[in-house]
């Protein structure tokens, strides 16, 4: 079993450090913009101020200059790069599980190993969970480090909570990719369908923030709630559980389909 885990962790040896580095870099960029260029003074500082005002629009009440740490995190979390990196990573891992193995003609080796198929899929999912956990932790701890530059003290437990919900959110994204991957024969389709779904949910969330319709608690991209929670306006527990529930549901469906499908 450890050989399977080793193979799939080895597969990620390059992409994980790159993504991790980019996530930290994002915080470094914000640090430079905010702190070294004079806070809200200067061009970059005012751009960031604009960003915070955007967060007020996107994120609703509780986010803004009066709650700078939360705004900082909201900007960071909502940043398209973060979404692209984490959602892209999670979707790509999921799409590789079955569809890509079939497409690249490795599936007959993999599924000739003496394990039930659902077990093999579960092992793959575990390596993805490890990757998402590492990236979520990097995002949170680099945020803790750099948010000190804003001069605001935010409880570490709040950061940890945001880490948990980030993990749960992107595991839900990954599990949807696993689901598509379990019945498609091409990894690209599984990846693209997941990303289309992610974009649709994101657009739905964006529309809600602009007031076109009501916000839903259980869309995949309600990241501003992270910021709300840091402002003490909501609790993360139910949403994290909701995301984990989505992940569990899609994973279970993927395992069932992979077990019965023709490889």
Number of residues that bind other proteins (CB under 8 A): 23
What's the closest the beta carbon of residue 96 comes to other proteins, in angstroms? 11
User: What are the C-alpha distances in Å from 53 to residues 13, 151, 177, 209, 230?
Assistant: 38, 19, 34, 13, 17
Q: Which of 18, 28, 104, 200 contacts other proteins by CB under 8 A? A: 104
CA 155 remoteness from chain centre: 22
Binding to other proteins (CB under 8 A) within 35-64 occurs at none
What's the closest the beta carbon of residue 99 comes to other proteins, in angstroms? 15
4 binds other proteins (CB under 8 A): yes
Q: Which of 10, 61, 81, 210 contacts other proteins by CB under 8 A? A: 10
What's the closest the beta carbon of residue 90 comes to other proteins, in angstroms? 21
**What's the CA gap between 31 and 140, in Å, rounded?**
15
What's the closest the beta carbon of residue 94 comes to other proteins, in angstroms? 18
7 binds other proteins (CB under 8 A): yes
Say if residues 254 and 183 touch (Cβ distance below 8 Å).
Answer: no
263 binds other proteins (CB under 8 A): yes
Q: Which of 18, 21, 41, 106 contacts other proteins by CB under 8 A? A: 106
Instruction: Choose between 11 and 53: whose C-beta lies nearer to other proteins.
Output: 11
Instruction: Choose between 46 and 107: whose C-beta lies nearer to other proteins.
Output: 107
117 binds other proteins (CB under 8 A): yes
11 binds other proteins (CB under 8 A): yes
Residues at the interface with other proteins (CB under 8 A): 1, 3-4, 7, 10-11, 13, 104-106, 108-109, 111-117, 259-260, 262-263
């Amino acid at each position: 079993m450890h050989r399977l885990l080793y193979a799939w962790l080895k597969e990620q040896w390059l992409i994980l450090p790159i993504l991790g580095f980019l996530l930290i870099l994002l915080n470094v960029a914000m640090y430079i913009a905010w702190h070294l260029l004079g806070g809200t003074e200067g061009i970059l500082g005012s751009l960031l101020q604009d960003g915070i005002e955007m967060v007020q629009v996107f994120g609703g009440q509780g986010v803004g200059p009066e709650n700078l740490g939360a705004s900082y995190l909201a900007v960071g979390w909502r940043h398209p790069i973060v979404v692209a990196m984490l959602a892209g990573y999670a979707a790509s891992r999921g799409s590789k599980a079955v569809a890509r193995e079939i497409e690249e003609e490795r599936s007959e080796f993999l599924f000739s190993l003496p394990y039930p198929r659902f077990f093999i899929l579960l092992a793959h999912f575990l390596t993805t969970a490890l990757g998402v956990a590492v990236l979520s932790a990097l995002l949170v701890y680099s945020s803790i480090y750099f948010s000190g530059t804003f001069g605001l003290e935010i409880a570490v437990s709040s950061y940890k909570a945001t880490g948990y919900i980030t993990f749960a959110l992107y595991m839900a994204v990954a599990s949807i990719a696993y689901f598509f991957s379990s019945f498609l024969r091409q990894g690209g389709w599984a990846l693209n369908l997941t990303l289309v779904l992610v974009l649709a949910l994101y657009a739905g969330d964006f529309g809600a923030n602009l007031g076109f319709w009501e916000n839903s608690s259980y869309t995949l991209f309600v990241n501003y709630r992270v910021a709300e929670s840091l402002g003490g306006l909501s609790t993360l527990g139910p949403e994290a559980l909701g995301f984990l529930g989505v992940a569990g549901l899609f994973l279970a469906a993927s395992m069932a389909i992979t077990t019965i499908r023709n490889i």
